[in-house]
Chains A and B, each alone.
Chain A
Amino acid sequence: MSVDAITLEILRHALEGVADEMGAVLKRTSYSPNIKEREDFSCAVFSPGGELVAQAEHIPVHLGSMPASVAAAVAAFPDMADGDQVALNDPFAGGTHLNDITVVAPVFMEGRLLGYVANRAHHTDVGGIAPGSIPAGATDIEQEGLRIPPTRLDDDLVARIKAASRTPGEREGDLHAQSGANARGAVRLRELASEWGIDGLLDAERALDDYADARVRAALSELPRGEWTFTDLLDDDGAGTTDIKIVCTLRIGDGVEVDLRGSDPQVRGNVNSVHAVALSAACYVLRCLVPHDIPVNAGCWRVLVVATQDGTVVSARPPAAVGAGNVETSQRITDAIFGAFAKAVPDLVPAASQGTMNNVLIGGSGFSYYETIAGGAGATPWGDGASGVHTHMTNTRNTPIEALEHAYPFRARRYELRDGSGGAGEHRGGDGVVREIEILSDDATVTLITERRRRGPWGANRGRDGAPGRNLIGDEEVAPKITRAVPRGTIVRIETPGGGGWGPVRLAHGYTNETEIAGGVVVKRYRGPWPSGPRFSAETRALDVLPAHVPASRWPRASSNCEDGVRLSP
């Protein structure tokens, strides 16, 4: 069936609407603030073949990695029937880190498989040796909490999860909401199939994939072809290893290949990430660089290949601890990929943002506090970076100071922007944040999992680096990742990194045709079309004003040469 311009747009809304409604059900009925208020979840619809059809956009770190969960569920339960739901969180079998529990359900109509619906939500505690299930000193995934391979979601499983968690009431409520969200998605998907016919719906899904693919390729067709490599570093793993390399070799040709195989071997501490997290980072970067109104579906990533080497910090083997891989390493992989793109197209890529989530966990008798702190965003080719925001792979909200002081034995002493911490440049990086908490309880334990303490987020296009972050306990500046028991009256001060600057400091608006970026490599300045067209200017960027149609034949699928132990995806 050929699908016309109108049906394409109508069914896009209809299918995205299914994912939206699943999200609305999950948000409304979920119990924990992390899901309800911070929207740390994602909902998606899949084809009968397990390909992504539509995804409601809530949190970037789930992008691109959910099809693996569906595949793992289907592999474990090939005979899933109407009404079945399968849950999993095992990072080594379709998951990302243990907190993220994904629930998958098949959708049938008239005996035919219409597809799958799935949602993933971050559960604040799934057991393990520390509250929050991201213990700083973990060296084995068993220390991080309950590991769930694909398992039928029934009362037994709910009971096991409740038994493992420090907050069983929340877990039950949230799992209930996740299952309800899938049920809603199944109903709506069946309604669409009755309206358009099963084959009509499936044809349209494929047409939407082609559509997304065509638009991504249209956007990418203006990029230069070639190979660029960028290396970024993690500060440490909290267990003795420092300066862990993440290497991205970017190849732009008929497709986009993000090759992370040069990255360091996996480490003892918990900054290891699984392949799914690396994939999410690459999907996120690609999504930022193409017009953001392109629907998120399998077609969107058809151009993309992400290569990792098993046993490295970006594709760890069990039983590696991976808790911080999702929250910290994901940010550094993102930086490395952006860094490679910055060499290719400096005029489209911002400087590095704070590159950390500044995880702060404080526990003591009767309380357990977890929060992430905002920082500076990298300056962009279009303007200054934002100050005091969450960047790239996360976007959760803060705990208000007044709520914090009611709930915990803390007194906040300072929560302000960190003036001057953003990197200088034609456009300035955003400022980081200073947060000071005085602990008013005996026997508290402080855990900090932070990054960009040893060196600041890089500037781009000759912009200066942002200021690195600092962690102080009392007057002592402490390591980026630390767990320490502290006495009453201790003041914990976190200064988060500023974003990198963009563009040379003194050459406002008059810079040359050749330009140099971080790393000292001189590359040809990108001379593509710039934001123009009156009605597009506010909504879209340069890439959206490119020629409408690119013949699909110009874009053979990128080859995926598989080597031993090297995983290529999708």
Chain B
Amino acid sequence: MRIGIDIGGTFTDLVAAFDDRIVVVKVPSTPGDPSEAFATALSRIDRPADEVLHGTTVGTNAVLTRTGADIAFVATDGFAHVLHLARQDRPSLYDLSAQRPAPVVSRDRCVGIVQRTAPDGTTITELDEDEARATLRTLRGVDGVAVTLLHSYADPSHERRVAELIAEELDVPVSLSCDIVPEIREYERASTTALNAYVQPALSRYLRKIDDASSDARCGVMWSGGGIRGIDQTIEQPVHTLYSGPAAGVLGAVWAAERCGVRDIVTLDMGGTSADVALVNDGVPDVADEASLDGLAFKTPSIDVISVGAGGGSIAWVDAGGALRAGPGSAGADPGPACYGKGGTEPTVTDAQCVLGYLGPSRLAVGEPDPGWGLAGGELRLNVDAAREAMARLATAARLDLDEAADGVLRVVRATMARAVRSVSVERGRDVRRYALVAFGGAGPLHATALARELDISTVIVPPSPGALAALGLLVASRRADASLSRPQLADRSRDVELRSILAALTKQVLDELAVEGVRSVDARTSLVVDCRYEGQSHELRIPVQGGPSFALIGEAFHAAHLERFGFSRPDARIEAITFRAVALGPARDITVAAPSGTTIEPFDNWRVGGVDVPVFARSNLPSGGRISGPAIVTELDSTIWLDVGSSAEVHASGALVVDVT
């Protein structure tokens, strides 16, 4: 038996995969120490697990709240402020009060040491060890050190020697840029290395606790790129977990869609504060080589998840010009929407749904026990009066009646989401209309059919247990290892020997890493990529290595890719190969979900939604192959699905609801 545990702002979700079924457990999160909720959820399963897999936001939160370790940063003399200079752009063009994102190291903890390496790896100035030791001694008291020396991807020996000096002088954990991300472009490399050192102490303490709580089970952690890695490897390179949470949800969505035979999807994970969107082509999520968190860049493979500032907790308001707006302010999880009855008074998106009747009948009294109604399986009671009160104030300001205002909030939030999804897909060269929308998270399935119409998408898929899909996604993820190395050179066939040796070394590195994870080389799938450009360009295209490592083949593939992307190629121009990459994936994992076992399609109630009586179905009662036509509501433990007028849902044998919205 295997277990996946995902920790969100409000709930900690557990999915246990038995041989023939899955079990979902939801417990309230414990933001002070997330490992408490982890242990509580685990204690609800009475059998020992073989494997416990985890998606964590501990590192992410340490960065967002700037509560990571007190670290120092060591650079080449003359370049100590690379983290503060970043790429010299400002965050907001017109907001004069906007502050630049604060680096994770203060300026006085950034020091330079005398040494210099050339772009080709030769030494221009030897490392001055006495001077370096003296400089390091001024840093006594820090919790960790990040080291990024210029061109260390070409020759890491100075960085390695500095690590030894730090061990002797300071005896604290060290993150070296040549280990974390040996790639050209010093700001991104330095920032990744600094973030690694910054989150390392907190994450290692936390992961040790998780490991203990899981007793004998083997533990794994989701990395941002969508692969599982062991606890020890994660503690070495915790920067790889910064997008751990969203990655797991996307993998769950891919898995659920594939079981319905759909491989091109847009995922919509809508929770309390934001909606996360990702594009998946032919079953493979877009993975970016670079991402950023709160304005700080990091180069680790990360599933390309775009966050749109619209969630259930987004606050609606009327601005000075009389327009109805939703967000970016959010009531978050605490106090949350007014209808949560936890003291929130601002009208939110969830309150609009509550007022219109999407979340349950208005006759339901606060606190009245009635499992099956209210959010999250009755653990949260809805206070409809509070929602109406909040929404009434908005309606007055907007000069609309109550239902108009509530409906307006939903339409505005959809317009926001649709705009974001469209530009993201256009930016990546995709036509979103041919994708299916996979909606999950507590709030996703309520918005999905209407959003799909807005985007001209004809199919919506709601996976089983949409509120716990990230926990489920952990169980279907493979082990994965990534390696990269910048070695800028002309992509000339005379250099094929070097090409082969670089790629062979990277392949060995990723296979060795997977071997530590218990994956044999014969079971691993590897793929290779070379980032190329025409000489003189400053941006590269990723060229997959196919048909054996040869610069001639890579060159041909590059010309073709350039033609496709830019509309022309320059067959006579010289090509530069900049960065080399290898990925190894372990065997795919699967889980078995019991087929829908209901027998009849009978609504258990009618709710008044926006002035119309709408039948309400319990998802657990639906039979495989059953069909429901909108308008209708399907409820389950942790989510509510809205089928709008004109839509028609079929209960797929896999447990997903497949909705036709044409």
A218 within 8 A of B: yes
Q: Report the stretch among A11-19, A236-244, A451-459 that lies at the interface.
A: A11-19
Closest beta carbon of chain B to A517's beta carbon, Å: 16
Partner of A399, one of B399, B538, B565, B573: B538
Known A-B contacts A9-B325, A176-B568; the reply to A24 vs B81 at CB < 8 A is no
- Inter-chain CA distance A184–B407, complex, in Å, is 31
A318 within 8 A of B: no
Closest beta carbon of chain B to A388's beta carbon, Å: 4
Known A-B contacts A9-B325, A176-B566; the reply to A37 vs B539 at CB < 8 A is yes
Residue numbers in A under 8 Å from B565 (CB-CB): 28-29
Contact with B along A151-180 (1 / 0, CB 8 A): 000000000000000000100110011000
A92 within 8 A of B: no
Contact with B along A369-408 (1 / 0, CB 8 A): 0000110010011110011111100011111111101110
Known A-B contacts A12-B323, A211-B322, A292-B92; the reply to A539 vs B328 at CB < 8 A is yes
A196 within 8 A of B: no
- Inter-chain CA distance A533–B346, complex, in Å, is 12
Chain B: interface size category = 35 or more
- Inter-chain CA distance A214–B418, complex, in Å, is 27
Closest beta carbon of chain A to B121's beta carbon, Å: 12
Partner of A402, one of B119, B323, B397: B119
Known A-B contacts A21-B423, A417-B81, A417-B85; the reply to A402 vs B96 at CB < 8 A is no
Q: Which residue of B lies closest to A13 (CB)?
A: B415
Q: Report the stretch among A254-262, A504-512, A541-549 that lies at the interface.
A: A541-549
A485 within 8 A of B: no
Residue numbers in A under 8 Å from B80 (CB-CB): 416
Contact with A along B149-179 (1 / 0, CB 8 A): 0110000000000000000000000000000
A57 within 8 A of B: yes
Closest beta carbon of chain A to B448's beta carbon, Å: 18
Q: Which residue of B lies closest to A212 (CB)?
A: B321
- Inter-chain CA distance A17–B425, complex, in Å, is 12
- Inter-chain CA distance A382–B97, complex, in Å, is 6
Contact with A along B306-331 (1 / 0, CB 8 A): 00000000010111111111001100
Contact with B along A520-553 (1 / 0, CB 8 A): 0000000000000001101101001011110000
- Inter-chain CA distance A31–B562, complex, in Å, is 10
Partner of B94, one of A29, A288, A382, A547: A288
- Inter-chain CA distance A381–B96, complex, in Å, is 9
Q: Which residue of A lies closest to B414 (CB)?
A: A10
Known A-B contacts A36-B539, A218-B321, A387-B84; the reply to A14 vs B329 at CB < 8 A is no
Closest beta carbon of chain A to B290's beta carbon, Å: 12
In the complex, the answer to whether A17 meets B96 with C-beta atoms within 8 Å is no
Residue numbers in B under 8 Å from A13 (CB-CB): 412, 415-416, 418-419
In the complex, the answer to whether A60 meets B93 with C-beta atoms within 8 Å is yes
Q: Which A1-53 residues have a C-beta within 8 angstroms of B?
A: 4-6, 8-10, 12-14, 16-17, 20-21, 23-25, 27-29, 31, 33, 36-37
Residue numbers in B under 8 Å from A414 (CB-CB): 78-79
In the complex, the answer to whether A24 meets B427 with C-beta atoms within 8 Å is yes
A350 within 8 A of B: yes
B351 within 8 A of A: no
Q: Which residue of B lies closest to A543 (CB)?
A: B320
Q: Report the stretch among B133-141, B182-190, B476-484, B499-507 that lies at the interface.
A: B182-190
Partner of B84, one of A33, A294, A417: A417
Partner of A214, one of B84, B186, B322: B322
Closest beta carbon of chain A to B331's beta carbon, Å: 9
Closest beta carbon of chain A to B228's beta carbon, Å: 32
B567 within 8 A of A: yes
Residue numbers in A under 8 Å from B79 (CB-CB): 401, 412, 414-416
A481 within 8 A of B: no
Known A-B contacts A9-B324, A399-B538, A401-B79; the reply to A17 vs B423 at CB < 8 A is yes
Known A-B contacts A9-B323, A406-B184; the reply to A535 vs B317 at CB < 8 A is yes
Residue numbers in A under 8 Å from B426 (CB-CB): 21, 24-25, 28, 184
Q: Which residue of A lies closest to B154 (CB)?
A: A402
In the complex, the answer to whether A28 meets B321 with C-beta atoms within 8 Å is no
Known A-B contacts A9-B324, A28-B428, A415-B78; the reply to A215 vs B319 at CB < 8 A is yes
Residue numbers in B under 8 Å from A399 (CB-CB): 538
Residue numbers in B under 8 Å from A184 (CB-CB): 426
- Inter-chain CA distance A26–B88, complex, in Å, is 23
Residue numbers in A under 8 Å from B397 (CB-CB): 548
Residue numbers in A under 8 Å from B400 (CB-CB): 4-6
- Inter-chain CA distance A396–B374, complex, in Å, is 50
B28 within 8 A of A: no
Known A-B contacts A390-B90, A414-B79; the reply to A293 vs B419 at CB < 8 A is no
Partner of A5, one of B315, B399, B536: B399
Closest beta carbon of chain B to A183's beta carbon, Å: 12
- Inter-chain CA distance A405–B315, complex, in Å, is 49
Residue numbers in A under 8 Å from B86 (CB-CB): 388
Partner of B329, one of A395, A406, A411, A535: A535
Contact with B along A184-197 (1 / 0, CB 8 A): 10000000000000
A433 within 8 A of B: yes
B570 within 8 A of A: yes
Closest beta carbon of chain B to A31's beta carbon, Å: 5
Most buried by B among A25, A176, A383, A406: A406
B398 within 8 A of A: yes
Residue numbers in B under 8 Å from A173 (CB-CB): 566-568
Known A-B contacts A33-B538, A219-B320; the reply to A389 vs B150 at CB < 8 A is no
Contact with A along B70-114 (1 / 0, CB 8 A): 000000001111101111111011111101100000010000000
A284 within 8 A of B: yes
Partner of B187, one of A10, A16, A381, A400: A400
Residue numbers in B under 8 Å from A36 (CB-CB): 539
Residue numbers in B under 8 Å from A405 (CB-CB): 118-119, 151
A428 within 8 A of B: no
- Inter-chain CA distance A173–B573, complex, in Å, is 15
Known A-B contacts A405-B119, A416-B78, A535-B317; the reply to A8 vs B97 at CB < 8 A is no
- Inter-chain CA distance A338–B554, complex, in Å, is 54
Contact with A along B453-480 (1 / 0, CB 8 A): 0000000000000000000000000000
Closest beta carbon of chain A to B410's beta carbon, Å: 10
Known A-B contacts A5-B399, A293-B319; the reply to A57 vs B93 at CB < 8 A is yes
In the complex, the answer to whether B151 meets A402 with C-beta atoms within 8 Å is yes
In the complex, the answer to whether B85 meets A27 with C-beta atoms within 8 Å is no
Contact with A along B519-536 (1 / 0, CB 8 A): 000000000000000101
Most buried by B among A29, A37, A389, A549: A389
Partner of B322, one of A5, A386, A415, A535: A5
Closest beta carbon of chain A to B80's beta carbon, Å: 6
Known A-B contacts A5-B408, A389-B89; the reply to A288 vs B96 at CB < 8 A is yes
B411 within 8 A of A: yes
Q: Which residue of A lies closest to B425 (CB)?
A: A24
In the complex, the answer to whether A291 meets B90 with C-beta atoms within 8 Å is no
A557 within 8 A of B: no
In the complex, the answer to whether A215 meets B566 with C-beta atoms within 8 Å is no
Q: Which residue of A lies closest to B409 (CB)?
A: A6
Q: Write 6 A-B pairs (CB below 8 A) sorted by A numbering.
A: A10-B411, A176-B566, A377-B90, A388-B85, A400-B185, A417-B81
Q: A21-B422, A24-B423, A33-B537 given. 10 additional CB < 8 A pairs?
A: A27-B427, A28-B427, A169-B534, A288-B94, A292-B94, A389-B100, A411-B124, A417-B84, A417-B107, A535-B346
| The 8 nearest A-B residue pairs measured at CB | A6-B408, A374-B88, A215-B321, A24-B427, A414-B78, A33-B538, A535-B329, A397-B87
The residues of A with any CB-CB pair to B shorter than 8 Å are: 4-6, 8-10, 12-14, 16-17, 20-21, 23-25, 27-29, 31, 33, 36-37, 57, 59-60, 169, 172-173, 176-177, 184, 211-212, 214-215, 218-219, 284, 287-288, 291-294, 350, 373-374, 377, 380-383, 386-391, 395-403, 405-407, 411-417, 433, 436, 535-536, 538-539, 541, 544, 546-549
